[in-house]
Amino acid sequence: MTNFKKYIFEYLLILTTILLTVSGFWNIFFKADAKPNLYQIFHAIVNFSWLFLMLYQLSLIGNKQGIKHKRVGLSILFFGPLFFAQAVLLAIHSAHKGLVSGEGDFMIVQNTLAPIELGLIILLAFILKKRRKIHAAFLLGTVVLMLGISIFFLMLAVAPELIGYGMYITLFVGILFFLKDRRNGWPILVSSSFFIINDFIYLILNEYNLIEPLTTFVGSLNQLITFFVSFMVLLSLLMFTGITNKRRVAVLK
């Protein structure tokens, strides 16, 4: 890779997130008594598809294959909405399990807000696609979100008492990228701060006894319909950014 050193931090971010994601799925798929359900299998396929798409796009940029990068970028029209919709699906599934068991969902706020934030990051990446570094930073912001989630599940498995520190580790990563490029790195910093913001919102909702109503609302949504609607909403919004027209012009050039 001709520009590997130039993007070393970006490569480290994506590769670290891939490794942590593997560790998060390890017990689900490879433990002696592992019995992954369809939700978990679908979740794993979509997550790794997104991460390897980000890695491939970065390699194309590093090798100065701009035209191919733009062509491959069209796949965001499918994988972006799919990534968003599966996050929404998992939030509903988790809340529904909490309702059925009567135990509630202690992650309801993070699970509900994170998909919304993810969809917003992907959308902003293409609204601001003309500013290429900002565009790239927003897409890397999706990886930072995945990093935070992976850290959470890793700590849940090995050190539950330290689980709260995961959000601060994620924020620290965002700060590093911001300091590396203060002009264009702010989208990564914003993405890395979402977990702390969501935790603060949880405290507010909990104070006003709104956690249970939120869990009831989210858990009662129809999973298939909401998945399809979520996919179509983000797909439509991405189309409105003019992504297809711009890519066609770029390819013709």
| pLDDT tens-place values along the chain, 253 residues long | 456 778 999 999 999 999 999 988 887 888 878 788 899 899 999 999 999 999 999 998 877 777 887 888 888 899 999 999 999 999 999 999 999 999 999 999 999 999 999 999 999 999 998 899 999 999 999 999 999 999 998 888 788 888 889 999 999 999 999 999 999 999 999 999 999 999 999 999 999 999 999 999 999 999 999 999 999 999 999 999 987 764 443 433 3
Q: Is 206 helix (H, G, I), strand (E, B) or coil?
A: helix
The span from the CA of 146 to the CA of 138, in Å, is 13
CA distances, 25 to each of 6, 68, 217 (Å): 31, 32, 28
Q: What does each C-alpha distance from 78 to 7, 50, 115, 121, 239 come to in angstroms?
A: 26, 11, 16, 15, 11
The residue behind tokens 């059925």 is: 100
Task: Name, in order, each residue with C-beta under 8 angstroms of 117's C-beta and a sequence gap of 6 or more.
Answer: 145, 191, 194
Domain count, the chain: 1
Full domain range(s) for residue 177: 5-252
Sorted by sequence, the CB contacts under 8 Å of residue 189 that are 6+ apart come out as 174, 175, 177, 178
Please report the pLDDT score of residue 253 as a whole number: 37
Determine the Cα–Cα distance for residues 156 and 173; give it in Å rounded to an integer.
20
End-to-end CA distance of the chain: 25
Distance CA 161, CA 43 (A): 26
Half-sphere exposure of 136 (CA within 13 A, CB side): 22
How many whole angstroms separate alpha carbon 104 and alpha carbon 124?
Answer: 33
Helix-strand-coil percent breakdown of the chain, rounded to 5?
A: 85, 0, 15
Amino acid at 161: E
The residues, any chain, with a CB within 8 Å of residue 27's CB and separated by 6 or more, are 34, 157
How do residues 47-104 score in pLDDT, each as one tens digit? 999 999 999 999 988 777 778 878 888 888 999 999 999 999 999 999 999 999 999 9
pLDDT of residue 214: 97
